[in-house]
Structure 1
Amino acid sequence: MYYIVETEKSFTQASTDLDSAVKRLGFGVLHVHDLGATLRAKDIAFDEECKVFEVCNPAQAAKVLATDMRLNMALPCRISVFTEKGTTKIGLIKPVQMLSALSQDAALVEVAKEVEEKTIQMVDEAK
């Protein structure tokens, strides 16, 4: 269900490269949640880094919503850059498996396949 790769890049460089790959592949970055900074700002001890990129392709999102409006709760796609014990990783939850758990509609599975191919390509390019 997960697609996670390790990279030799720093957390900051991997984050920058992911942002560029998202845009280059026709998606937009709606928001970036810096979970590490948020937790530390709340005085919670958290030594790792973690940014969650909310990414979206409006045409694909519109197809999903036109088929089943309830799936708005599964959008946008999220790709994370994070550290774990000194290693930088980039990962996502695969859209096909996630949407298949929520709907059996064949058209949605096709959209999810297209999105999954692109989001995995983003991760691989940022690696």
Structure 2
Amino acid sequence: MEISKINAEGDETCEHLGLHPEAVARAAQRVGALAHIDALAQLFAAFGDPTRLRILTALRDGDLCVCDLTAVLGMTASAVSHQLRLLRNLRLVRSRKAGRVVYYRLDDEHVLNLLAQGEAHVQHY
């Protein structure tokens, strides 16, 4: 019994919809339970941008100010600030002020863990 086949465009198509109703019900329940799926998509989009990922990686070892980040990344202060604003809005980084200097750090251990898990996955192959 053929369950799937490749169509003329090279895409796999399903011959029998609902072949595994229990598995479909479990998956639908999990997808429906993710009320915050848009926020999750934005989080992963932030990690998908090389510049933002470089900023997050630079902050792994501790606090840096915008000037430090411009030196590390070879970018203008306004470009770095723009990316930091996006990362702060997604709660990936936080800031603290010391006099007139604003320092940035990873928001919490979850961000560090996401970076570490991503690196481990990429290096696994």
Q: Shorter-chain TM-score: what band?
A: under 0.3
Q: Which protein has the bigger strand share?
A: 1
TM-score scaled by structure 1? 0.22
Say which one has the larger Rg: 2
Determine which structure has greater relative contact order: mean sequence separation of CA pairs < 8 Å that are 6+ residues apart, divided by chain length: 1
TM-score scaled by structure 2? 0.22
Q: Which protein has the bigger helix share?
A: 2
